[in-house]
Amino acid sequence: MKPISRNGDTVAPALTQRLLASIEARLVLPSEEPPSPITYTPGLVGYVGVVIFAAIILAAIAWRPISDPFTLLVGIEATAGLSAFAVRTISGVSAAWSASVFVHLGMTLCLGPPGAVAAAIGDGLIGRGLVRAGWFRCIFNTATFTLSSLSAWSIASRIPYQQHPALAPLAGMAAGGAAWLVNHVLVAIVIRLASGRQARLSTSMRSSLAVLPYELAYGWAAAGVALLYREAGTAGFTMLLAPVVAGQAFLVLLARRTHAHQQELREAEAGERRRIARDLHDTVVQVVAGSAMTLAAQAELSAAAISRERVKETAEHLRDAARDLRTLIVQIAPPTLERDGLAVTLSALLKPLAEAGVAVHLECPDIAPAIEDSELIYRVAQEALRNISAHAAATTVELRVAVSDEHVTLLVIDDGRGFSPADLQRRRQEGHVGTRGLVEVATERGATLTVDSQPGRGTRLCLTIPNY
């Protein structure tokens, strides 16, 4: 889930933020996109308020005296650090992995409700605050972590695994499963509210099933931490914590190096594309264009009508070849979203249609969407315009991008021949799966892609991306 934040406010002091940013830039993590804004609707704010209130009440009811403040402090520092330095799995995607869930469960089973609340504060407020997740999201995460950890404690405390260590795996996995269920149900609901009720609860829960085995394993290990803590106290707790912290640190450094290597490959590929495009433009295109002009001029001087027509025909073929080469140059080295922005890249997509005599119209706001949204818009527009060029025989094409607090919208409208559902099914059977593939990509992003078309009435494609 993306950070829920209007302006990126955080609970961390400015000095701490600058220090962590310096560490990220020089030593550890690749840079990230800033959190996307979101509208604080009454439903969203009311729901988050209920979750926070429930977390406070249940924590107060379950509270026990703090028996080991030193271990509590160590656990807070560990969860905060693991959360702040989570491993970003894919560049450009808001997905991250952290072993803080293991520490959550370990502190909960070792120290009871005080450990659950302390771990939630360390992860939700301090850790997420350090990476500028936004105050609203930090508070919500703290509340969900508190409720999920208290649920884990409530389940595990009913199994006498301290007296019968053979039951520890059962108690641990039950605790991990309870924490997973409570946390992901609460998050799925807030995603649906933040998306204007477009995201489905079932889709969010299905995607969260991938992490369930890890949560069960964390619970099993956390039960072992509780048994060792009973025998060795803080020393036992830290002995199991140290390799977890070291392992995540290694993965963070590995992710940074992988990101740097991927960036180098992208830059090398882009440089090679620019070189090929430049060479084509400076050599082949110039020769072909010059030959076309020479032949056209020669045709006017030719006395024989047959020779003149053949020369003119050859010149026209050369002009077509030059136009195709220019199109190929744009495809080989198109304007990039990062360098040129969404409006320029979309304009480059429309250029071949305009050169073919189609009336094109582009509307794109000065405020560009987030880079991952822009990439999806570009990909959908590219496939839609390719289909229009190949099948629609359109005379007019409109491409509109709109950005609001709730949604980012792309409209692609043409006045071409259109198609029927039977035509679409036939094309898919022939192996044309471009639009279907885009629907799947949009769904993974939480977006919706609809196509409205009728024979003889053109086509209207609409991509709607929730702005959360």
Q: What is the pLDDT of residues 162-207, one digit of tens each?
A: 899 999 999 999 999 999 999 999 988 988 887 777 777 887 788 7
Which run of H or of E encompasses 451? strand 448-453
Number of Cβ atoms within 10 Å of the Cβ of 164: 11
Mark which of 223, 244, 266 sits at the end of a domain. Answer: 266
Q: How far apart are CA 188 and CA 191, in angstroms?
A: 5
pLDDT confidence band for 26 (50 / 70 / 90): very low
pLDDT confidence band for 2 (50 / 70 / 90): very low
Task: Give the Å distances, CA to CA, from 351 to 318, 324, 348, 389.
Answer: 19, 12, 5, 11
Domain count, the chain: 2
Residue 262 in this model has a pLDDT that exceeds 80: no
Residue 23 in this model has a pLDDT that exceeds 50: no
Q: Give the global pTM.
A: 0.57
Task: Give the Å distances, CA to CA, from 256 to 25, 29, 144, 289.
Answer: 10, 5, 29, 47
In a domain, 156, yes or no: yes
Q: What is the DSSP letter of 12?
A: S
Residue of 9 and 113 predicted with greater confidence: 113
pLDDT of residue 192: 84
In a domain, 278, yes or no: no
Reduced to 3 states (helix: H, G, I; strand: E, B; else coil), residue 22 is helix
Residue 259 in this model has a pLDDT that exceeds 50: yes
Task: Give the Å distances, CA to CA, from 415 to 303, 355, 419, 449.
Answer: 45, 17, 11, 19
Closest alpha carbon to 64 in 124, 108, 123, 120: 108
Residue 220 in this model has a pLDDT that exceeds 90: yes
Segments forming the whole domain that contains residue 420: 337-468
In a domain, 302, yes or no: no
Whether 66 and 145 map to the same domain: the answer is: yes
Reduced to 3 states (helix: H, G, I; strand: E, B; else coil), residue 402 is strand
Enter the tokens of residue 44.
């969203």
Could you tell me where the beta strands, DSSP code E, fall in 369-441?
Answer: 396-403, 407-414
Task: Give the Å distances, CA to CA, from 93 to 90, 306, 446.
Answer: 6, 62, 13
pLDDT of residue 152: 93
Whether 349 and 218 map to the same domain: the answer is: no
pLDDT confidence band for 91 (50 / 70 / 90): very low
Whether 65 and 147 map to the same domain: the answer is: yes
